[in-house]
Structure 1
Amino acid sequence: MKNKKIKEWIMEAGFVLVGNLIVALGVTFFILPSDILSGGTAGIAVALEPILHLPETLVINVLTVGLFLLGSICLGKAFFLKTVLSTLVYPVYISVLSLYFSDMVITDNQLLASIYAGICIGVGIGLVYRVDGSTGGMDIPPLIVHKYTHLPLSVLVMCFDGATVLLGAAVYGIEASMIGLVSVFISGQVINKVLTLGSEASKTLFIISPKWEEIRDAINQELDRGVTLVPALGGYANEQRMMVMTVVKQKQFANLQRLITHIDPEAFFVVNDANEVQGAGFTFGKHYRSDRVLTQVQTKETA
């Protein structure tokens, strides 16, 4: 048991280290050289540089440490333990990369730089979130708000980053902000993709039919899927009906659709995407999750 915990800790630390490195690469190679208002501590540093005339790496490092202390007070010991590693390595990554690659320019196209910055930041943050960690910095205010409101974390991240981008509009203008918002949007989408990586796409179906018993048996026998029977009351005729709920893998959906229409061509059914399913018949790779992560992957209440 002790060895298992050590291996899990090493794996989690590896996710945090790699995630922060990817974020730092995106900041160093795309955000800082092209002055992208991407949000986060890097976006704030870019926005404030013409006003304060301080090195952007210094502003990033000061904000990272300061927000870490704020997060430790508001979010407690567990946050401290999961964020201290990011707070230590991220400033080091930024400082070292800026020292050795400060003159390296991958692209002069701001829009292209914004897109790739969003991808790098999204991948990096997503990896850290998968182990219930934090990248620190401007990741902390969304976590504090999420703690008390339980709003989806990716939405909060985009809101705070969007506010940072709008702040930069006063210095760099509307066009620069529009380019920065591209990075913010992409990073939010990539975070969700990374969080659900490894989960098999599935469909949730709610089926209403007088031949519900036949449909139930067919799903059990022909598709080897379980069902849940939900008593329902028809809103028009006030008739008691039985609703069949089931979850099938994406590749089984077409077969199930044909099966239902064959048994009852007039059957009524609703289909929703199930972004994550846990239980018998749905086996995925190991995920590192918390309540925070589940608010991301369960974007529809169907699983």
Structure 2
Amino acid sequence: MIQFKNVTKRYGNKTAVDDLTFDIKEGETFVLIGPSGCGKTTTLKMINRLIPLTNGYIYFKDRPISDYQVYEMRWDIGYVLQQIALFPHMTIKENIAQVPLMKKWSETDIDKRIDELLEMVGMDPEQFKNRKPSELSGGQQQRVGVVRALAADPPVILMDEPFSALDPISREKLQDDLVELQKKIKKTIVFVTHDIQEALKLGDRICLLKEGHAEQIGTPDEFLTSPRNDFVKDFIGDLDAHRMQQLTIGDIAQKHSPEASTDHPDYPVVPADTQIQVAFQYLSEHDGIIVNGGNGDGKILNSRDVFKYLADRQRGDDR
């Protein structure tokens, strides 16, 4: 869906992004993470040409981004900001309708799409669509920001630290909502964060940047079990291999998986005392596993359940 090939961005003598090469797969959530000033937001903004690259190529749908008219490309790429940036003088309906109006959708189709999206994020259209942004909470405004980015059904969504300004409870709820929403919409999402817990929880793959270059690109379990160097280990923090060895899949099933079912005959049955590293091997080959024994007996776990548990554990919220 999106390809970076030897992409570099310089500002004078300063290199903000240094020779990045990677692919972002269709339908995945790809997280860009790193300390302040590492180039993650610059990398994101080069995708939709808010920032021009200096060297290299970025491809979107197998075409260089320079081949597209800017407006045409941005209509196919939704954008969610930390600051939300809703138009304060417009209603929620009017805010969401902007890109569909520019694409000359009919009023009937726009109304239907707005109702559908608001319902998808748990907001009653009749209750919310005629309100102004100032009448909504921060979490509700950010949901509208996500809905607005989805309004014209773009294949790609860029999200630049969209939840970082929210309180911890609202932030965690929106993270959970995004995970559930992505199961339905299956968009290609590029997500910027500085929070490793958020990256582990949301990302199908993670790209950790340092001073503009990629230190490691991989799945959350690869970061947790096979960090490439000391910088990666330090950035991940205290979820090290020793602590991982103390956890079992039964611990996670007991606390974080409400589903119990035998309707998945293709899922392997895994003993509750199986260590996390071993469980990752099963989850790399199957969509889920069924826990056998202990308080989590019969419950189904998938990769998201595991990473949510580990992220909450690192945050100190071991529920």
CA radius of gyration, larger in: 1
TM-score, with structure 2 as normaliser: 0.26
TM-score, with structure 1 as normaliser: 0.27
Task: Judging by fraction of residues, say which structure has more strand.
Answer: 2
Task: Judging by fraction of residues, say which structure has more helix.
Answer: 1
